[in-house]
């Protein structure tokens, strides 16, 4: 029998940058998905009273909570692996039976958490010899190729590679990363309106950015300097500009954490919030109000990434700020302690 604990993730900077091989800064969170499982011929997995079963060969999306699991088998097969199935139970704060609404997890990064749990389990149970960086990349493929998500994030990398007390700085293009200690005086807080929906035409953002990169003759957003943007005639200029600035902020934020400059870290969150709102249209009702509430009650900085809100605050102010956000907006906010990445143990 195998036991798996797979954390959630909070993306601080670089919500859209991985798609253009850019930089990101994220943490694994102390809320997690858990699994108990044993090897079997096919897959039989339960979430509360709901059990799903399927063969490991040629899995197809079914439109339910188990699609991330099916996707893991699909991308593993495409990568040349043929693991067997498993019988298991999914639970935990992120993907437990009380953490889903209509079969859909309430946390935006819960699917990545489940994917990493399954990939780590299969890697251990069937000796696939997959590195943590490899399972993060496979989970990213599940999100984009199997689940059809337009925008890959740094969440799988934080879940695979996170360490307690640290943030993960990712260079998606080079596939390299560094862990940066989060200062003791800094508390990260997250909240979600749960109503993230792209504005009309938002699905074309990735294509417009790729077109802009082609016009400039480069392959990734880190290769772009802001002085190059006036040469562009394509509609992706504003969005590419955001990515270039976000790459810089991710790098500067990692440095600010390393130097213990909490004020600078907060300023970068504020800059990112305004830049995203002005140059990338995302419809997330209520998110702006939460950001304003956080600032009014002592936050060092705050940003909305769609429906997800990230706040930085000095630790001694965090409890009062948490209460103010929950009271003023009738939602659940959470204090985040950076946690270890996915762990598999055998008993």
pLDDT at 101 over 80: no
Domains assigned to the chain? 2-181+339-346 (3.30.230.10), 186-336 (3.30.70.890)
Q: Does the CA dihedral 278-283-287-292 come out positive or negative?
A: positive
Q: Has residue 281 got a pLDDT over 80?
A: no
Q: What's the CA gap between 327 and 321, in Å, rounded?
A: 10
pLDDT value, residue 246: 97
Q: Evaluate if residue 31 carries a pLDDT over 50.
A: yes
Using pLDDT thresholds of 50, 70 and 90, give the confidence band for residue 333: confident
HEC states along 272-325?
HHHHHHHHCCEECCCHHHHHHHHHHCCCCEEEEECCEEEEEEEHHHHHHHHHHH
CA geometry: angle 64, 14, 119, nearest 5 deg:
40
DSSP state of 199: P
Note the pLDDT of residue 306. Answer: 83
Q: Is the pLDDT of residue 264 over 80?
A: yes
**For residue 279, is pLDDT > 50?**
yes
**pLDDT at residue 65, as a whole number:** 92
Given a cut of 90, whether residue 282 has pLDDT beyond it is: no
Q: What is the pLDDT of residues 44-76, one digit of tens each?
A: 999 999 999 999 998 999 999 999 999 999 999
Q: Could you report the per-residue pLDDT of 209-228, keeping only the tens digit for each? A: 989 999 999 999 999 999 99
In sequence order, the β-bridge partners of residue 334 are 190
pLDDT score at 99 = 55
Q: Report the alpha-carbon distance of residue 14 to residue 19 in Å, rounded.
A: 10
Look at the alpha carbons of 223, 226, 232, 233 in this order and tell me if their dihedral is positive or negative. positive
Confidence category of residue 202, pLDDT binned at 50, 70, 90: very low
Least confident span in 24-28, 182-186, 197-201: 197-201
- State residue 329's pLDDT score: 77
Band of the pLDDT at 200, cuts 50, 70, 90? very low
d(CA 164, CA 179): 10
Which has more pLDDT, 205 or 126?
126
Q: Is 204 helix (H, G, I), strand (E, B) or coil?
A: helix
> What pLDDT does residue 4 have?
98
Distance from the first to the final alpha carbon of the chain: 6
What is the predicted pLDDT for the residue at 304? Answer: 92
Q: Which pLDDT does position 201 carry in this prediction?
A: 43
Question: pLDDT tier at 95 (50, 70, 90 boundaries)?
Answer: confident
Residue 100 has pLDDT above 70, yes or no: no
**Chain-wide mean pLDDT for the chain?**
90
Q: Average pLDDT, stretch 113-121?
A: 98
State what percent of residues in the chain have pLDDT above 90: 76
Band (pLDDT 50/70/90 cuts) for residue 249 is: very high
Query: Is the pLDDT at 343 greater than 70, yes or no?
Result: yes
196-210, 218-232, 289-303: the lowest-pLDDT one: 196-210
Most confident range, picked from 27-41, 182-196, 315-329: 27-41
Q: Which residue has the higher pLDDT, 21 or 105?
A: 21
Strands (E), the chain: 2-13, 23-40, 43-47, 50-54, 85-92, 100-101, 104-105, 166-171, 176-181, 186-192, 197-198, 282-283, 301-305, 308-314, 334-336, 343-346
- Identity of the highest mean pLDDT range in 133-147, 232-246, 328-342: 133-147
Query: What pLDDT does residue 199 have?
Result: 43
């Amino acid at each position: 029998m195998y036991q798996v604990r797979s954390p959630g993730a909070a993306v601080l900077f670089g919500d859209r940058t991985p798609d253009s091989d850019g930089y990101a800064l994220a943490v694994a969170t102390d809320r997690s998905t858990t699994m108990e499982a044993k090897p079997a011929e096919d897959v039989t997995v339960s979430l509360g009273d709901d059990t799903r079963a399927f063969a490991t060969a040629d899995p197809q999306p079914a439109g339910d909570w188990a699609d991330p699991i099916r996707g893991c088998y699909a991308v593993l097969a495409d990568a040349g692996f043929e693991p067997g199935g498993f019988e298991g139970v999914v639970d935990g704060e992120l993907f437990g039976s009380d953490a889903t609404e209509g079969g859909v997890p309430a946390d935006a990064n819960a699917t990545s958490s489940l994917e990493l749990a399954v990939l780590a389990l299969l890697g251990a149970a069937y000796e696939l010899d997959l590195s943590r960086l490899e399972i993060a990349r496979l989970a990213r493929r599940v999100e984009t190729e199997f689940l059809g998500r337009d925008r890959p994030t740094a969440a799988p990398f934080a879940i695979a590679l996170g360490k307690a007390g640290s943030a993960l700085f990712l260079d998606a293009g080079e596939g390299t990363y560094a862990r940066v200690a989060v200062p003791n005086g800094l508390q990260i807080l997250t909240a979600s309106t749960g109503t993230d929906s792209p504005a009309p035409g938002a699905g074309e953002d990735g294509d417009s950015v790729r077109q802009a990169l082609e016009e400039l003759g480069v392959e990734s957003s880190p290769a772009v300097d802001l002085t190059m943007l006036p040469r562009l005639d394509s509609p992706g200029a504003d969005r590419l500009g955001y990515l270039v600035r976000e790459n810089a902020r991710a790098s500067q934020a990692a440095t600010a954490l390393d130097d213990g400059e909490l004020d600078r870290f907060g300023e970068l969150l504020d800059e990112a919030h305004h830049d995203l709102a002005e140059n990338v249209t995302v419809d997330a009702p209520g998110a702006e109000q939460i950001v304003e509430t956080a600032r009014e009650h002592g936050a060092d900085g705050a940003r909305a990434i769609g429906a997800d809100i990230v706040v930085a605050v000095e630790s001694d102010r965090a409890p009062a700020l948490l209460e103010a956000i929950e009271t003023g907006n009738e939602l659940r906010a959470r204090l985040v302690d950076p946690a270890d990445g996915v762990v598999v143990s055998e008993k």
